[in-house]
Structure 1
Amino acid sequence: MTIEPLALDLTGADIQGENARIRARGPVTLVELMGVPAWSVTDADVLKRLLADPRVSKDPAQHWSAFINGEVTPEWPLFPWVAATNMFTAYGADHRRLRKLVSPALTNRRTMALRPRIEELVTSLLDGLAATPAGESVDLREGFAYPVPIQVLTELMGVPEEREPALRTCVARFFDTEISPEAAGANYVEMYGLIEELVAHKRDNPGDDMTSVLIATRDEDGERLTEKEMVDTLMLVINAGHETTVNLLDQAIYSLLTHPDQLAAVLDGKVGWDAVIEETLRYESPVAHLPLRYAVEDIDIDGIGIRKGEAILASYAAAGRDPKVHGATADSFDVTRVNKDHVAFGHGAHHCIGAPLARLEASIALPALFERFPDLRFATSAADLAPVIGFISNGHLELPVYLTAE
């Protein structure tokens, strides 16, 4: 009997509840993404195996039958996610080439060198929050979780200050999977134009930033990095690097405030902030589902056949709560958990190159926030907080809090 694909809720209203329903169908099962079928992988071990398998590609032009046959067109809202030309969609030797070229812009030295600037930025934001009149609530997603990574990334990329608001708006729309095809296409065009303007600006005004590094690489040897690859790579950096860190900070704050005993243990120094960060990444992966990968050839997974040319959806948030790995408490937030294994930053060749930066930002921002405001509390019922719209991004629309005790 053929089982109909489970149509994912485009609003992302209940990501973990939906993950449980997907998992109940098996470790690998068919889902539908706005009319497009894909194999959702919720089993952590199976997902790791597939992410590291050379028979699994991220290049739709080579390996996705529906894309090659013209069945997937620019009208599909997720088209920008699969049609870019950068590390995100590259395969094999091409991916290794692009990653090697981008790596100099995100070395450990460059990342660690950002610590003083991140600390300065966090302190400035906290000073601003401290000026909130007594009795007034603030939105920590908008006023803290959002500005930390966007400021870090725009400075890392060398984005002029006056262009930051427009770029930020484009990033927010990029993760909205309920957006209309027309709006998604227009947003992609606008964002592409903004990055092209940035490249042109940095050609005339080079500096010690990622864009200038990529331009130097491109201009030294045009065969190694095409102009489109450079622009698409910068789009990848701003999209992937920003939203994921916003959600990491968001979910860590939410989880600690809804588990006051664990927050107390952290503030007392009984549990380290690294444990908070890793448990948050496991418990609420910043990216719930990441489109897409494709079978280069027929693959058999525990008796389930994924045919050559079919699409695969990495369901990171579900894998983080796999009961086979984390037992009966997989759905519980526990900073003292011994095994906090997760795939929130991917696995294998496509493991997120910006993961050290995201962890660095969180390791600075979170302790500074709770040390500055130890009486932080929600301004509304935590159960009433709405999720961001979409099945990719995993965070809250708002985090309204009071900064001080009653």
Structure 2
Amino acid sequence: MDFTHPVVIDPTGRDIHGEAARIRARGPVTPVELPHGVPAWAVSDTALLRRLLADPRVSKDPRRHWPRWTAGEVSPEWPLYTWVAVRNMFTAYGDEHKRLRSLVSTAFTARRTAALRPRIEEITAALLDRVAEAGAAGRPVDLRQEFCYPLPIRVIGELLGLPENLGAELRAVVDGVFHTSADPAEVTGTTARFYAVLDELVALKRAVPGDDLTSALIAARDEESGTRLGEQELLDTLLLLISAGHETTVNLLDNAVHALLAHPGQLAHVRAGRATWEDVVEETLRAEAPVASLPLRYAVEDLPLSGLGGPPDTVIRKGEAILAAYAAAGRDPAHHGPDADDFDVTRPRKDHLAFGHGVHHCPGAPLGRLEARVALPALFGRFPGLELAVPPGGLEPVDSFISHGHRSLPVRLG
């Protein structure tokens, strides 16, 4: 790998789309430097990324396929440590991935997801009442805080049987996991806090099991003498479900609301029936991917990219790391045309990789989409005069190159 001139990833994520454009300008795949000088290949070409994500010669297991990890060169103080150190389906490969994924996939089938709609509608209505109260008399409301955050955490919380008293602490530690410019003390502190909360949850559910996914996972661990799910796998699977079931949907809602308010003509298309709320959701996932870049994957063997439709002289060598650049791919002009940077709900082609692809495609994608399809029309139906309380360019991004959203979303209800 030639790292003479890599694109140095900004760990604060201050300019997600500007950085994505610089990555695309270097070609379909280019060397990048992650925090602490860790090298990787960033893949931004939609077609090439789709092929790599589905290729069995690409792994997510650092213990088997990343020499930097096996050599002990990755410190627990690295901001991305949790992303590669966990033992769950996110970092599993082959049969191990099938085993771990099978334990949770049944909770996210189309039938079970559809059955959650009435409860999602109830939660949405209650939150909108709270938003109305907070925004009375023209007061600005932080919609991310009052609506985008609590909806998905309540939904995933009920699926997992999370007690209410753990909600605030879980939200804080999830934010910490996505904080990619965190200093070493914060990184290790976040990890310790997260596992302390998970230990408390597991102890509670072992003592008083319920009709929830946490209890089901504990049963898979305890009732079969650990043959299906190890203790660390149990904790890390819960960590994954809470993090992925929360942050991505928060950003989806945040980015969709912001995009519609910043582009009132697009909202007019929806209200006039020229586009649907499904169009809004899919265009947001394409143009404003909730996860900008996802670490990490690794080449199981040398990968000549010419055989995957990539650059003819480029080879990702065995053991080299790969960064899925979803935000860059979502605005790939080779796939979406010269107007790929535009947010356009009437765009005929809105396909994207925001939820991944292949065996690691997010099993919670139908749930995230459902939450957005319920929440967005309810929000704009309840508050037809909704407007941003600051100029569109005045919003601060979250401090992350993984999570793509805003620190706050101040609005007036109108």
**TM-score w.r.t. structure 2 length?**
0.96
3-state DSSP class of the match of 1:328? coil
Q: Does 1:275 align with 2:276?
A: no
Which sits farther off after the overlay, 128-137 or 39-48? 128-137
Quote the residue 1:137 is aligned against: 140
1:340 is the counterpart of 2:350: yes
The answer to whether 1:331 aligns with 2:333 is no
Given the alignment, which residue of 201, 204, 207 partners 2:204? Answer: 201
1:304 aligns with 2:305: no
Given that 2:251 and 2:405 are in contact with CA atoms closer than 8 Å, whether structure 1 keeps it comes out as yes
Alignment of 1:122-271 (within 5 A): 122-131=124-133, 132-221=135-224, 222-271=226-275
**Pairwise CA distance, 1:10:** 1.0
Deviation of the 1:285 alpha carbon = 0.4
In the alignment, the residues of structure 1 paired with residue 138 and residue 157 of structure 2 have an alpha-carbon distance, to the nearest angstrom, of 33
Amino acid at match of 1:170: V
Q: Does 1:15 align with 2:16?
A: yes
Check the 8 A contact 1:262/1:335 in 2, yes or no. Answer: yes
Counterpart Cα distance in 2 of 1:108 and 1:61: 33
What SS does the corresponding residue of 2:12 show, helix, strand or coil? coil
Deviation of 1:208 after TM superposition, in Å, equals 1.4
C-alpha contact (below 8 Å) 1:105/1:214 kept by paired residues: no
Partner residue, 1:26? 27
Identity, in percent, stands at 61
- How big is each residue's C-alpha offset from its partner over 1:260-315, in whole Å with a ceiling of 9 and x where there is no partner? 11101212333111010000000010000000000000111122111101100000
Aligned length: 404
Residue of 351, 367, 376 corresponding to 2:377? 367
**Alpha-carbon offset, residue 229 of structure 1:** 0.7
Letter in 2 for 1:272: T
Matched residue SS, 1:29: strand
Q: 1:54 aligns with which of 45, 56, 64?
A: 56
Q: Structure 1 segments of 4 or more deviating over 3 A?
A: none
CA distance, structure 2, for counterparts of residue 289 and residue 117 of structure 1 = 31
Instruction: Give yes or no for contact 2:108–2:366 (8 Å, CA) kept in 1.
Output: no
Q: Any unmatched runs of 5+ in structure 1?
A: none
Aligned equivalents of 2:104, 2:149: Cα separation in 1: 25
Equivalent in the alignment of 2:297: 293
| 1:58-99 per-position Cα deviation (integer Å, ceiling 9, x unaligned) | 000000011111111212121111000000000011101111
Within 5 Å, give how 1:377-388 maps onto structure 2: 377-388=387-398
Instruction: Please identify, of 345-354 and 293-302, the stretch whose mean Cα deviation from structure 2 is larger.
Output: 293-302
CA contact (8 A) 2:6 2:31 kept: yes
Provide the C-alpha distance between the structure 2 equivalents of 1:111 and 1:220, rounded to a whole number of angstroms: 27
8 Å contact 2:140–2:412 — kept in the other structure? yes
8 A contact 2:62–2:91 mirrored in 1: yes
How far apart in 1 are the matches of 2:346 and 2:260? 13
C-alpha contact (below 8 Å) 1:22/1:29 kept by paired residues: yes
Give the drift of 1:2.
6.0
CA distance in 2, matches of 1:277, 1:107: 20
Q: Distance in 2 between matches of 1:141 and 1:83?
A: 30
CA-to-aligned-CA distance 1:311-349 (integer Å, 9 cap, x gap): 000000110111111011100001011110100000000
- In structure 1, the partner of 2:308 is none
TM-score (norm 1): 0.98
Deviations 1:139-170 (A, max 9, x none): 11111101100111111111111111111110
| TM-superposed deviation, 1:135 | 2.0
Measured against aligned partners, the alpha-carbon deviations of 1:345-371 in whole angstroms (never above 9, x if no partner) come to 000000001001000100100000000
Deviation per residue, 1:155-187 (Å, 9 max, x gap):
111111111111111011111111112211111
